[in-house]
Structures are given as structure tokens and as C-alpha cells.
Structure 1
Amino acid sequence: MESLSPNIFVEDMNETISFYMSIGFQLVMTVPEAGTELVWAMMSNGDVTFMFQTFESLGKELPNISRRNGGSLLFYIKLKKIREFFELIHEKVTVLKGLETTFYGATEFSILDNNNYVLTFAEDE
């Protein structure tokens, strides 16, 4: 295995792109369908890459995928300068858990993205 790039299913592609850009991600690639409506996008920040795809674009291709936002998973993202990053974004997002040091020595905080997915950011300080 070489890498993991989750493909996250979303309702509103433009809203999702705006949210992730607001926390420092760059738009790498998009796929339009029927003109200019985006159905897929890839975004990255450093070595972290997410792909986003609309539920609608799946059609009947993968019927077992839930067609609801959010999920029973959490994306754990390691970064440097976590306190600076927290200060940069905490007023732009829904903070679920503020900065705290864990029993295993990491400093972490968790936010909710615009699709109800949980992103936890961590730094080994």
C-alpha cells in the first residue's frame, strides 16, 4: 500500500470546496458534469488529500452507500503549529472539542465540517 485518499460523499460541492479552502486546503482538480456543475473535486493541504463526490453523481452505481451527510468516522490529521492553525480557523468553523493535551501526549482539537464529518487535528508536542 502506498497512500489513502478518502472519497467523501457530499450534497453541495461548492459549499464543501469553500469550507475546505477556509481552513487552508487548495483545490487540485475538479470534474464537471452537464456543463459547469461540479460532481467531484480533489483538495489537498501538504500531504493530506481528500476527494469529494456528490451523492447524486453515483447514480445507481454504488447503491449500498448511505445517501446521508456525515458518518460514524473521524478523520485524524497530523500537522505542525497546531495552536497557530487553531487560532486561524476556530472562528470560521464549529469547534467540537477545543485544544487539549491527551494522555498520549498529543495536542488536539476537533471540528465539524459542513457535511457533518469530524476532523481532528493533532500535533505531537
Structure 2
Amino acid sequence: MESLSPNIFVTDITATINFYKLLGFEVTMTVPEQGPDFVWVMMAKGNVTFMFQTLESLADKLPQISRADGASLLLYISVKDIRILFDQVKDKVTVLKDLETTFYGATEFSILDPNNYVLTFAEHQPHDNV
């Protein structure tokens, strides 16, 4: 295996695009190619890629797919310069957990996206090999 790019089902794809742009993600591909009525979009920032898709676009092909807003999914995203990112977004998003250092040495914060998914951003400090 080489990579994982989750395809996340959303209710409002335009709000989702705008939210992830606030976090610095860029749209890399859409279906259809021209908007405004997208049913699928790929967004990326660095090595992190997300695909977002409307439930309606797959209702006939995969009727087994269903979810309540947010389901039980937390996306854990490793970043550099976490304090800069936190300062850039804290007043523009719903912060669930403020910036803190965990017992395992990571600095983290958690936010809520417009589809009620939880995003936790973490910066891990290098370990000294003693």
C-alpha cells in the first residue's frame, strides 16, 4: 500500500470546499469539471488529500452508503508549525479542543467541519534516542 485518500460523504459540498480552503487546502479535481453543481471534489494540502462526495451522487449505485452527520469519524492530521495554523483558523472555525500538549508529547487542537466531522491537527516533537 502506498497511500490513503478518504472519500468523505458530505451534505453541502460548496460549504465543505470553502471550509477546507480556510485550512489551506486547494481544489485539485472536480466532477463535473465546471461548477457550481459539483458532486465530487478532491482537495489537497501537502501530502494530505481528501475526496468529498455528495451522498445523492452514489444513492443508486451504492445504496448501502448512509451516515448521520459526522458519524464516528475523526481525521487525525499531522502538521508542522501547529501554532501558526491554530492562530490562522481559530476565529474562523468551531474549535472543539484548544491547543494543548498531550501526555504522549504531541501538540494538538480539534475543530469541527461543516459536516460535523472532527479534525484533530497534531505536531509531534522528534524523540531523542537515548
Shorter-chain TM band? over 0.9
What is residue 113 of structure 1 aligned with on the other side?
113
* d(CA) in 2 for partners of 1:114, 1:58: 20
2:32 partner SS: strand
What is residue 78 of structure 1 aligned with on the other side?
78
* d(CA) in 2 for partners of 1:50, 1:57: 17
* d(CA) in 2 for partners of 1:97, 1:85: 14
Query: What percent of counterpart residues are identical?
Result: 67
In structure 1, stretches of 5+ residues that fail to align are: none
What is residue 123 of structure 2 aligned with on the other side?
123
CA drift at 1:61: 1.5
Answer with 1 or 2: which has the greater Rg.
2
* d(CA) in 1 for partners of 2:10, 2:73: 15
What is residue 104 of structure 2 aligned with on the other side?
104
How much is the aligned-residue C-alpha RMSD, in angstroms? Answer: 1.4
Greater per-residue strand proportion: 1
Normalised to the residue count of structure 1, the TM-score between the two structures is: 0.94
* d(CA) in 1 for partners of 2:25, 2:45: 5
CA drift at 1:36: 4.5
Number of paired residues? 124
What is residue 18 of structure 1 aligned with on the other side?
18
Contact 2:98 2:110 in 1 (8 A): yes
1:16 partner SS: helix
1:18 partner SS: helix
Contact 2:59 2:65 in 1 (8 A): no
Q: Deviations over 1:96-117 (max 9, x none)?
A: 0000101110000000000000
* d(CA) in 1 for partners of 2:71, 2:46: 24
In structure 2, stretches of 5+ residues that fail to align are: 126-130
1:27 partner SS: strand
CA drift at 1:69: 2.3
Q: Deviations over 1:47-69 (max 9, x none)?
A: 00000000110122112211432
